[in-house]
Chain A
Amino acid sequence: QVKMVESGGGVVQPERSLRLSCAASGFTFRNYGMHWVRQAPGKGLEWVAVIWYDGSHQYYADSVKGRFTISRDNSMDTLYLQMNSLRVEDSAVYYCARGRAPRGDFDYWGQGTLVTVSS
């Protein structure tokens, strides 16, 4: 069955960096676009970034543009999110999600990894 497992979260100081990973299984990873979506404590969902199935295109929310980089390794079935210059407001649970279609929805989600930015 489709499964995605995020890792790499933790507590980090403002302005530091962190890299999240999402290990995928149960489907042909290289055929699907992949997203990161986050949820601050007690708040709603916020889309963060997308990467095309072949890694050829990446797009970001304005709130993270220039600080976060999404990437993937199709040989390892793994998605990444490199987060630099972290801010307190980046504290959230970060979910990886599979894109069902190029312009569409998120049909499977991981369980999430918590990132806390605090001094």
Chain B
Amino acid sequence: QSALTQPASVSGSPGQSITISCTGTSSDVDIYTFVSFVSWYQQPPGKAPKLLIYEVSNRPSRVSNRFSGSKSDDTASLTISGLQAEDEADYYCSSYITNSTPHWVFGGGTKLTVL
């Protein structure tokens, strides 16, 4: 069981928007650290992950502005607007956490299907 909880799957039609949530569910996850350091990754089938969003809502310049991140209380969210077929992939949230020593955790992943 992952320390961060994501929905197993989401789907949407081309042009629509979808949102994927990520919640810290383990006692190991310090909420303050989680909501400050959460990042999001896209992993197309058979490929390596790619950073989409860092520190909740910051987007690297090489990433499309159709991807955005936000947070509300203890939940982080990734929104993809204007869905395209090429967005079909697995999406993971992650965060740096510190209980005894620094380490990092990932959510279980969300499979996005573009209908």
Contacts and interface: CB of A to CB of B under 8 A. Distances in A.
A31 interface: no
A109 B2 CA distance: 21
Contact of A44 (B54, B103, B107): B107
Contact of A103 (B92, B102, B106): B102
- How many chain B residues sit at the interface, stated as a range, is 20 to 34
B101 interface: yes
A44 B110 CA distance: 9
* B-side interface mostly: strand
A47 B2 CA distance: 12
A52 B91 CA distance: 27
A24 to B, nearest CB: 14
Contact of A47 (B47, B50, B105, B109): B105
A105 B2 contact: no
19 contacts: A44-B92, A44-B107, A45-B41, A47-B94, A47-B103, A47-B104, A50-B102, A50-B104, A59-B102, A103-B96, A104-B96, A105-B39, A105-B54, A105-B96, A107-B54, A108-B51, A109-B48, A109-B50, A111-B47
Interface of B: 2, 37, 39, 41, 43, 47-51, 54-55, 60, 90, 92, 94, 96, 101-109
